[in-house]
Amino acid sequence: MKKQKQFNKSLKPSSKNWIKRHINDPYVALAKQNAYRTRSAFKLIEIQEKFKIIKDKDIVLDLGAAPGGWSQIASKITQNVIAVDILEVAPIPNVQFIQGDFLNQSTLNLIKDAIGESEINVILSDMCPNTCGIKKIDHLRIINIFEEVTYFAKNHLKTGGSLVVKVFQGGAEKNTLTDIKMHFRKISHFKPKSSRKQSPELYLIATGFIGNGESPFLRSTSVSPNDGEQA
């Protein structure tokens, strides 16, 4: 008990507030009751209920999947879920896991092998970078991930496919949003009830990808403008 009290005293006020919110968060309790790996699983549940993004037999690619909460939900709808993360993810029924950076060509080759002659119907991303506490830098990191995911989607989604990606309010993403609107028939922004009120996160729901009829893995030999390198 003394060690616990000493540990609590050593925490920053922001960390103490996070722990307090986490303990009192009803979605944390619900996640445990439903054996979901994360509370964020409820965000995808709400998105699916409203937008019907994932359909039976769809091939779903979950980018930055660890620890697997979104893949769990997607796997209840379709048996064709591919989860990608640089971190290891414990096995999930109906989910094929690929450990690697989705920006790297080697990881892309594994994704290609996993889907075979098929194409990706839905790309999901609930990724958020590690923050440093400096608002401007943190926001730029968030936008960087958003741009990388949307770039990947434009190169590898099946025509008519859908994208769900986390985006934060702030404005620096306007140019990317303008570009995305040129490649999808419909763009929506959605904040799930399960998203914490104090969080600036939103989800961009892009449906009806306008493709050019080619195989998505032939449209571009480059995965990223950064050639697979991350800072």
Active site positions, annotated:
166
Query: From CA 177, how far away is CA 140, in angstroms rounded?
Result: 15
User: Residue 72 in contact with residue 93, Cβ under 8 Å?
Assistant: no
Classify residue 53 by its DSSP letter: -
Give the whole-angstrom CA distance, residue 17 versus residue 14: 5
Strand ranges (DSSP E) for 10-119? Answer: 59-63, 80-85, 95-99
3-state helix, strand, coil in the chain (%, to 5): 40, 20, 40
The token pair that represents 94 in the structure block: 């109906």
Look up residue 157 and give its amino acid.
L
Count of alpha carbons within 13 Å of 52, Cβ hemisphere only?
A: 3
